[in-house]
Structure 1
Amino acid sequence: MARQVGVSQAAVSYAYNRPEKVSAEQRERIFAVAEELGYAGPNPAGRALRTGKVGALGLVLTDSLSYAFHDPGAASLMRGISEVGELAQVALTLLPAPLATVPEAAADTSLALVDGFLIYALPDAHPMVNLVLKRGLPVVAIDGPQLPGHSFVGIDDHSAARSAAEHLLTLGHRDVGILASRLSADGRTGEVSAARISRAKDRVLKARVRGYLEPFGEALRAAPAVYEAGGFDYEKSRAAAEALLDARHVTAVLAATDVMALAVLDAARDRGIRVPEQLSVIGFDDIPAAAAADLTTIRQSQVAKGAHAARLLLEAVSAPAQAATVTLPTDLVVRGSTAPPPPN
């Protein structure tokens, strides 16, 4: 191209990548020759070989690709990541990490064409974590796991959950149930023992359940019942909500996510249980549907979480940087789904 136009290689590169560096006339001449030669522009693979950078970040998700688009929290997180990525002209590659063991050869292939990794809410000891670390590229974890020597972005899940439980105690609730999405990646559902909570592999869910339990353990002799859904989707959440409401007399439910809390509202309505007159419900995350349902919940910003993580990773890709830990704020948002318990 440069020989045909009679300019330097740099001028051709500037025409495509930094147009302010060349005159409009020169750009038009370069593009005209490119059209004659059938040249479509710089080859991404060639640029990667020359610069050592692919121009893409990998987001490792804890579940299937459909989860990334259907789960409100994951979708908001991706929005925050993409906003930063667009400013830096960086693409986002989604890498699902199924719960089953990841075949190393296949994973190595899928992880090759990125400059660094964002790991989102993977359980401790998930096989994909080791595969990512073996690449030797910059890594930022979001929500978990916490990896020595690598940056981390999250919230204080334990304290946030505790504030929700204390709100129910202050209202006078004593018969409370807790719903957890998935404490460990083994598909277990139903009532959860204290031993299973202590062995939980999901850092976020373990912290939230413990935060919910602590105030009641300190104020009451009997700890609340904990039920596990075995997954994050609405259908599993609805089944767990129904199991709890059918098996236990509770005046309040603390759900580990808003999706679970919305499932509780639906299950209660189908059973003729009035919220909040007969049952108080608290969620976690403050997804858009929470306000529409008048749901009391813990507010966190998944968009801000994604943006912070993306900035940290882009900085680490540009130049070696010390690992940082970012803890974002949360708030208890009290709405119409909580009230004092009904009189005995």
Structure 2
Amino acid sequence: MKPTVEDVGDAACTIPSSVLQELKPPSEMKRTVSMKDVALAAGVSQPAVSYAYNKPSEISEAQREHILKVAKKLGYPGPSVRGGSLRSGRVGAIGLMISDELPYAFVDPSTTSLLRGIGEIGELANVALALFPLQKDLVNHSGAPGNVSLAVRGFVDGLIVYNMPDDYPAVAMASNQNIPFVVVDAPILKGVPFVGIDDFGSGLIQMQHLLDLRHSKIGIIADRLRPDGVRGRVTQDRFHQATENVVRARLEGYLSAGKAAGLAFEDLTIVEAGGFDDASGRWAAEQMLACKGLTAVAATSDVMALALLKVAGEQGVAVPEQLSVIGFDDIPEAAGAGLTTIRQPLIEKGRHAARLLTELLNAPPSKRAAGATRVILPTELVVRSTTKSRRKKRS
């Protein structure tokens, strides 16, 4: 039988007398400082005090510093997280869906940059972040969707969906359960706030750089086309079955630029790594370097490109004299390696996504679906030392 308030009161009588003797009478107990006390002492309204902790963008930085200074002097611990959750109906947590297994979030440079951007938004400073890794059995429709439903339902107030495959069940569940969410990179859904880049256009620029350097024997390393464990040489059938929108769009950009230069799908050597990590990249690099006659390689991520540079060095293949290499992302390691790449604002993606999610959570449910915001951030070609013009042979 669940204890009632009276039952708990009776149980309190069992506290040892030695403990009771140490307790001070009510008249000597220190009164808890409230938000109202801070407001009176600081000469501001109670909402202003609340904004100082929960919505700092609503007041000036000077006013916020003044309120926090007064609160500290009074010993005010801040608003009750549990109380605020009960009043608002929120649990005080948001979720981040990532496109691989859990360890990936802590080692992948793009994901860690996204997390950094999310963490820089003050409105989420006191909010917990839960990670939801990709469940491959559900992507292949061999698992029970209820597992994901239990993880999402009631566990978070909102979600940031990062680079997930098309038709991933948990995304549909979040939508059906009216959980506010923002998509970063993929999938692209009607009526859902989106933050990303022009992957097709950026891929086209990436390939065009190699074509402008007179390369025609070009290889492509693609991270992953589907989360099904398949890797190896990519056929047209495999390409058309792709569910990873970002990689697919970049490949479409490569193919479009190649077609304009007279290169068909069969003229390009495309290898799928089957994953996004360094080990997958090294495996793909070995397959690529086994293909004779290639003079340049474009990779759909810097992780893949950097893995290729390492394997090329181990095999004695000179870059860029024998092989030009271009990546995508411009992660911190790219500059140190002299990697030519496409720069995208990874941290800024996290900032925009966090802001959009905050706006969703603060908006009335009736207005959440109205005019979903779509943010497309700029990219740029960064030319370093891993690409070089291929000289024509003298006749």
TM-score normalised according to structure 1 size: 0.88
What's the counterpart of residue 170 of structure 1? 212
Q: Which of 127, 130, 143 does residue 185 from structure 2 map onto? A: 143
Q: Which of 331, 339, 343 does residue 388 from structure 2 map onto? A: 339
Contact 2:98–2:134 under 8 Å retained in 1: yes
**Per the alignment, do residues 9 and 25 of structure 1 end up closer, same or farther by CA in structure 2, a change over 3 Å counting?**
closer
Write the deviation string for residues 183-222 of structure 1: whole angstroms up to 9, x where unpaired: 0111111100112112210000001111112222222244
What's the counterpart of residue 248 of structure 2? 206
Tell me the distance in 2 between the aligned counterparts of 1:113 and 1:190: 38
What's the counterpart of residue 171 of structure 2? 129
SS of 2:205's equivalent in the other structure is: helix
Tell me the distance in 2 between the aligned counterparts of 1:341 and 1:6: 78
Contact 2:97–2:134 under 8 Å retained in 1: yes
What's the counterpart of residue 16 of structure 2? none
Tell me the distance in 1 between the aligned counterparts of 2:70 and 2:120: 31
Tell me the distance in 2 between the aligned counterparts of 1:93 and 1:13: 32
Instruction: Say if 2:274 is the partner of 1:233.
Output: no
Contact 1:85–1:91 under 8 Å retained in 2: no
Once the two structures are superposed, the pairs formed by residues 1-344 of structure 1 within 5 Å of their partners are 11=36, 20=67, 27=74, 44-85=81-122, 89-101=126-138, 103-111=144-152, 112-222=154-264, 223-319=267-363, 320-321=367-368, 322-341=371-390
Write the deviation string for residues 84-115 of structure 1: whole angstroms up to 9, x where unpaired: 15665333222222222164333233222322
SS of 1:178's equivalent in the other structure is: strand
**Per the alignment, do residues 180 and 247 of structure 1 end up closer, same or farther by CA in structure 2, a change over 3 Å counting?**
same
Write the deviation string for residues 245-272 of structure 1: whole angstroms up to 9, x where unpaired: 1034200000010000011111111221
Tell me the distance in 2 between the aligned counterparts of 1:273 and 1:7: 70
Contact 1:277–1:342 under 8 Å retained in 2: no
**Per the alignment, do residues 21 and 310 of structure 1 end up closer, same or farther by CA in structure 2, a change over 3 Å counting?**
closer
SS of 1:100's equivalent in the other structure is: helix
- Structure 1 unaligned spans of 5+: 32-39
Tell me the distance in 2 between the aligned counterparts of 1:6 and 1:336: 67
Q: Counterpart amino acid of 2:345?
A: S
Tell me the distance in 1 between the aligned counterparts of 2:252 and 2:83: 51
Contact 2:33–2:74 under 8 Å retained in 1: no
Does 204-213 or 130-139 show the bigger shift? Answer: 130-139
Write the deviation string for residues 292-333 of structure 1: whole angstroms up to 9, x where unpaired: 000000000110011011101101110134301100000000
Does 313-322 or 154-163 show the bigger shift? Answer: 313-322
Contact 1:279–1:341 under 8 Å retained in 2: no
- Structure 2 unaligned spans of 5+: 1-25, 42-48, 54-66
**What is the deviation of 1:12?**
7.7
Q: Counterpart amino acid of 2:299?
A: A
Q: Counterpart amino acid of 2:309?
A: L
Q: Counterpart amino acid of 1:110?
A: A
Contact 1:97–1:128 under 8 Å retained in 2: no
SS of 1:216's equivalent in the other structure is: helix
**What is the deviation of 1:27?**
4.3
Tell me the distance in 1 between the aligned counterparts of 2:188 and 2:197: 12
**Per the alignment, do residues 45 and 224 of structure 1 end up closer, same or farther by CA in structure 2, a change over 3 Å counting?**
same
**What is the deviation of 1:127?**
1.6
Tell me the distance in 2 between the aligned counterparts of 1:59 and 1:276: 38
What's the counterpart of residue 35 of structure 1? none
Tell me the distance in 2 between the aligned counterparts of 1:283 and 1:26: 53
SS of 2:290's equivalent in the other structure is: helix
SS of 1:214's equivalent in the other structure is: helix
SS of 1:237's equivalent in the other structure is: helix
**What is the deviation of 1:121?**
0.4
Q: Counterpart amino acid of 1:334?
A: V
What's the counterpart of residue 34 of structure 1? none
**Per the alignment, do residues 108 and 277 of structure 1 end up closer, same or farther by CA in structure 2, a change over 3 Å counting?**
same
**What is the deviation of 1:134?**
2.5
Tell me the distance in 2 between the aligned counterparts of 1:134 and 1:246: 48
**What is the deviation of 1:145?**
0.3
Q: Bigger radius of gyration, 1 or 2? A: 2
Contact 1:62–1:99 under 8 Å retained in 2: no
**Per the alignment, do residues 175 and 117 of structure 1 end up closer, same or farther by CA in structure 2, a change over 3 Å counting?**
same
How many residues end up aligned between the 2 structures? 333
**What is the deviation of 1:343?**
5.3
